[in-house]
Structure 1
Amino acid sequence: MTKEKLFITTLQGKPNERVPFWFMRQAGRYLPEYRELRATTKGFLDLCFSPEKAAEVTLQPLRRFDMDAAILFSDILVVPYGLGVDVRFAEGEGPIVAVTNTAEKIAALRLEYIKEKLEPIAETVRLVKKQLPQSTALIGFAGSPWTVACYMLQGRSGKEFAAAREFAYAHAALMQSLMDVLSEATIEYLRMQIDAGAEAIQLFDSWAGLLPPDEFAKWSIEPTKKIVAAIKQSHPHIPIIGFAKGAGLNLPNYAQATGVDAIGVDQHTPMGFGLQAAT
């Protein structure tokens, strides 16, 4: 009989003796062992697509802290990479993404590439799953379509993503086409992770807070709702966490309308408000 995992049973709403914990960025630069391993790779994406090394990075924090869950080491921008977009990480600059802001460029995105190009990440999940303690859950993740689209339309990191917001406002039909492709790609990618062994999923909408209420409903809630419904249809037992950073007063609507099982809250959201939104 498989032992129940505290992290999973908590997401299922079952009472537990304590609150499970994990860090949202628990693998990475604060660990000297990560920095040592990172120095052996050509670039950040090379690390993400090296299953043995990515699995090791995923497991590193668990050797230091008694966490109830591991989260896959990867990046939200592997999805556009999987669609055939040029994605690279420049030292000191962060991600640089080929801008995808015309009908021709959006039409050139290839869903059929996803399985082949992202298979190394599924292999990372399998390797991690084999080595995890029996009581530790494995979280898979993806970026929500709006947040991924921000990078594809801006071409790099930013704080305001003006190019993405302007594109969504001025070219709503094209934006919808891009979001549809990203939603389908994300569904495929998450299913790959689950089939490889992920036991819960988190959707990161890191730039949801940039959207006003009407746009928030259209570009954050609706794509998330579509992804959640698809995953629940194929894998109904998998809990899904939605993290719409900066959602603020939009959070209750997000929690109820998307169908997620749990929500993440940011540092600006009182825990009481988050709990009320989730229930």
Structure 2
Amino acid sequence: MNKLVLDNLNYKVTEKVPVWLMRQAGRYMKEYHIVKNKFNSFMEMCKNSDAVTEITLQPIKKFDFDAAIIFSDILLVLDAIDINVEFIPGKGPVVENLESLKNIKSLSRKLNSKKVKPCYEAIKNIKKELIDKPLIGFSAAPWTLATYYIEGRYNKDLSRIKFTVIKIQKKWTL
């Protein structure tokens, strides 16, 4: 394995600064759009291990970055616990939102392992092809996921989650 990225992340002196970009695969690449156009939705594409593998490897093949970043979305975690997530063109993600504080227990739903299987398959396939480069994953913080779940979509003022946190603080200690 190429140790450049790992050494750099561990504060070791390296012969060059490693290069990788968050969202290095995606909209700016013609190759990405060719794959994207084969699917009815962004979510469908994210759940297809072959598509995720191909899209993740596109910038590595084109630009020879020092690490690959898995092509995914942070909201797939919500989908994996059976919370409905849709990506609406021109609007972005819309999430089945928490309807009331009575449903707060639904935040601790169990993982639907069938829904994460394509991601595991893609990681396995990507690692076979990368050989000498690290694969970087990412995730959302629980706060970010809770925000989407409570708000139902991206909302700059976060009014619903602020209200919910105030209500929760009255019942529990955070």
Aligned to 1:52: 50
- Mapping 1:82-101, distance limit 5 Å: 82-100=80-98
In structure 2, distance between residues paired with 1:173 and 1:84: 28
Secondary structure, in 3 states, of the residue corresponding to 2:138?
A: strand
Aligned to 1:13: 11
Aligned mate of 1:148, from 145, 150, 153: 145
Aligned to 1:27: 25
- Mapping 1:101-250, distance limit 5 Å: 102-109=100-107, 111-134=109-132, 136-172=133-169
Q: Deviations over 1:166-214 (max 9, x none)?
A: 22233237798xxxxxxxxxxxxxxxxxxxxxxxxxxxxxxxxxxxxxx
TM-score by length of 2: 0.90
Secondary structure, in 3 states, of the residue corresponding to 1:108?
A: helix
Structure 1 contact 99–155 (Cα < 8 Å) conserved: yes
In structure 2, distance between residues paired with 1:110 and 1:150: 14
Aligned to 1:38: 36
Indicate the structure with greater strand content.
1
Quickly say closer, same or farther: Cα 1:108–1:34, change in 2 above 3 A.
same
Q: Which amino acid aligns with 1:51?
A: S
- How far did residue 12 of structure 1 move? 1.9
User: 5+ residue gaps in structure 2?
Assistant: none
Quickly say closer, same or farther: Cα 1:11–1:114, change in 2 above 3 A.
farther
Aligned residues: 174
Compute the RMSD of aligned alpha carbons.
Answer: 2.1
- How far did residue 80 of structure 1 move? 1.1
Secondary structure, in 3 states, of the residue corresponding to 2:68?
A: strand
* Sequence identity (%): 36
After TM superposition, the structure 1 stretch with the greater mean CA deviation from structure 2, 107-116 or 3-12, is 107-116
Quickly say closer, same or farther: Cα 1:49–1:55, change in 2 above 3 A.
same
In structure 2, distance between residues paired with 1:150 and 1:175: 18
In structure 1, distance between residues paired with 2:112 and 2:146: 17
